[in-house]
Amino acid sequence: MRTDLSPLLPALKRDHLFKGPKILIRQAGVGIAATLVDDDCRCPQSVYIYRATTEAEPRGYSNEYLLANLVSRTMNFIVMKRFGEVDPARAFAKLTHARIETLPIAKLDDVEDTAVAREIATLVRLLLTEDNLSREVDQKIELLLRRL
């Protein structure tokens, strides 16, 4: 016997889940592939949607700051060490929500940390809006993250 699922679909794919801005994280690949998207586009099941909560934003945890942590060299090292395969044919790390939840985001303990996080967020936004990626800006983000 078949069941009509159409009444359930709107509950599974509510429009507010896709509202921008949001961080998109690819489920499988080498390291972490993520970006920040401002529009309300939908994405396939193999791409996860994350965003900073409204409670976390005043403490400095913006989408840009979270993205910087996720795509940092340190985080990519952690992901490959924890979840990567030894076999070169399967050298990608499949990310699940449970695995993403265990990733260490640099904690913001005080006003100085929050100021650094806001500087990182500004630099990330700069990289996302410029035509050419700047090696100097990228390097500065990495160094600021390591300070935290």
Distance CA 148, CA 133 (A): 23
Average pLDDT, the chain: 84
Task: Return all residues near 125 (Cβ < 8 A) that are at least 6 apart.
Answer: 64
Distance CA 148, CA 144 (A): 7
Contact 96, 28 (CB under 8 A): no
Domain boundaries, the chain: 9-147
Task: Return all residues near 139 (Cβ < 8 A) that are at least 6 apart.
Answer: none
For residue range 48-94, list pLDDT tens digits in order: 999 999 999 988 999 999 999 999 999 988 888 888 766 666 556 67
The pLDDT value given to residue 90: 59
Contact 133, 77 (CB under 8 A): no
Comparing CA positions, the residue from 39, 35, 33 lying closest to residue 21 is: 39
For residue range 109-135, list pLDDT tens digits in order: 999 999 999 999 999 999 888 676 788
The pLDDT value given to residue 45: 79
More confident residue, 48 or 15: 48
The pLDDT value given to residue 129: 84
Confidence of residue 143 (pLDDT cuts 50, 70, 90): very high
DSSP β-bridge partners for residue 36:
23
